[in-house]
Structures are given as structure tokens and as C-alpha cells.
Structure 1
């Protein structure tokens, strides 16, 4: 089976879906954020704070270049990985790209239940920031994805089933 790459905005369920897909398909799970944290020996928040977003985006690109030769993987990515056009090419080279889409309301609800700190949301008006980021990334996700998977009002099992149905079309 081809590698599966999950892209999408923060809090759309990429990590949770990747874990279940990994178990169901017996494929190795790699999360780019965790991969970078281990390589840099610091959290994503620390990287953003100490070295800036530009440095973090370079680390994402370097990680994708290293991971581009891996086989039998489920790759879960950070929400902004598609900001760089070279990353889009690398993601599509790595495997079948599934775009997990969600509405702003779903994202906000998921963020309220999340323990993960989001460096880009350390702002006064989170909803406005989310809408702005989503708007700026929409065309990039669309350009990157082989398939779009709507996650609104769906549980993890439903999203995984939808991904598997789309994979069967290949």
C-alpha cells in the first residue's frame, strides 16, 4: 500500500486519525511535529519562541526531505506544513494526501478540548486568527490534497472509514 499523508488545519483530528489508521493498516506512524521535537530536543512552542516560525518551517521542509524515502508510513503533519510550495511537492511524493477539513466552529470546539499549546494562537482573538489562517491556507490544502475528507460532526472511526473508501478508489 502507498504511504498515507494527512494534512489539514490544526485540531482537525490528524493525529487521532493517524493513530487509528496506523493500527488498522499495520503501518508505521510518523508525526512531523513529534519528529521535529525529537530532532531538535525541544517542543514546537520552544522552537517558535526561541528560533521563530521561519526556522520551524525550514525544519518541516528538512524533515519531509528525509522522510520522502520512507515506505509503509502514515504521515501526520502540522497544520502549516503546506505553507511552502516545495513541501506540497514533497508531501505528494511521499504518498496519497488526505486533507482533513473542518469548519471554524469544529476547530474551535476541538481546541477547547485540546491540551496542546498552539504557538500561532497566542493572540487575543483566536477565532479571527483561525479564520485568517484558514483563508490563507485554503488554496494550498486544495493544491496538495488528492482527497478531501470532511471531519465536521464525524468521529474518528467515520473519518478513517472515509479515508479507506477513498484509498480503495486508487
Structure 2
């Protein structure tokens, strides 16, 4: 949540000539609502169901595509069937600072319903950190690195 998955995925897609889709964008499109509104109106459990439906669709219909996943997507039952799982790793403090200092920081923070309360967000980060590393095939630390370096590391570790 906030590590730069979307930014990195778009840069990777452009650099390596692949298509990129974002699971949160797919859900927003299907539901015709922003993630924040889905959480507000239907709750987190409903959103997690949407993530599983999205994973099922990806498994059946999508190949050769880079997929950016929302923060809770690691829980979908068929994650490993979707492809190589790359974790962009960074400390909570680095992520929080990245979001706070971004040009559009208010917008970045507002669109993350689980980041509204910093204490809860840090607790969630701690809970997810081990789970993320457990499901990841490749881990790339992004702290203090330029995008070009991150992309090269991903490509090398994924043998692209």
C-alpha cells in the first residue's frame, strides 16, 4: 500500500513493451465506484470478494501481462496460478514519507481507505509484511533507488 506498485508497473510496461493491468482499476471499472466508495458502501469483505473474482478472471482470460495488485490481493486463492509474484519491498516509514511528500499527497492518501489512520496502517503493514514475503517469488527493495535501477533488478530477477 503506497510502495509505488502502479508507478513501477507502468514504467516496466513501457520499458519492456508489455501490457499492464491494475486489479484495483479493474474492480473500480466493474463496480463503477472508487475503491474508497466500495469500502464505505459495501465493506471490506465485499471488496475482498471482488478481488477473488478479479483473480479468477485473470487466471482464465489474461496471459503475458504485468498485473499490479492491491495490498490485500495476496490473499486470493489462486495467486500462484497468475504468474511470478514480485514484491516491491520498503519500510513503513519510507512508504509513509513517500505518500506524505508526493506532489499530490492528499489525493494519494485519500484513495487508500486502510491508510487513513497511521497507527492502524502501521499495524496492517506489520501483519502483511511476513505474508507478502511468503507468497513472493521475487523481492526487490525499492528504498532509495531510482526507477531505472528498480526495473533492471526486476527484469534480472525475473529473467526477462
Matching residue of 2:25: 34
Matching residue of 2:2: 11
CA RMSD between the two structures: 1.4
Matching residue of 1:109: 97
**Given that residues 16 and 156 in structure 1 are in contact (C-alpha distance below 8 angstroms), is that contact kept between their aligned partners in structure 2?**
no
Deviation at 1:52, TM superposition (A): 0.4
Q: Is 1:121–2:115 an aligned residue pair?
A: yes
TM-score w.r.t. structure 2 length? 0.90
What do the CA deviations read for 1:118-145 (whole angstroms, capped 9, x no partner)? 111222xx1x223211111122112210
Larger helix share, 1 or 2: 2
Structure number with greater CO (CA < 8 Å, separation at least 6) is 1
TM-score w.r.t. structure 1 length? 0.85
Deviation at 1:90, TM superposition (A): 2.0
- Which runs of 5 or more residues in structure 2 are unaligned? none
**Given that residues 138 and 158 in structure 2 are in contact (C-alpha distance below 8 angstroms), is that contact kept between their aligned partners in structure 1?**
no
CA distance in 2, matches of 1:138, 1:11: 13
What do the CA deviations read for 1:71-121 (whole angstroms, capped 9, x no partner)? 110100111212x2xx1x522211111011111121111211232221112
Matching residue of 1:164: 155
Q: Runs of at least 4 residues of structure 1 off by over 6 A? A: none
Matching residue of 1:49: 40
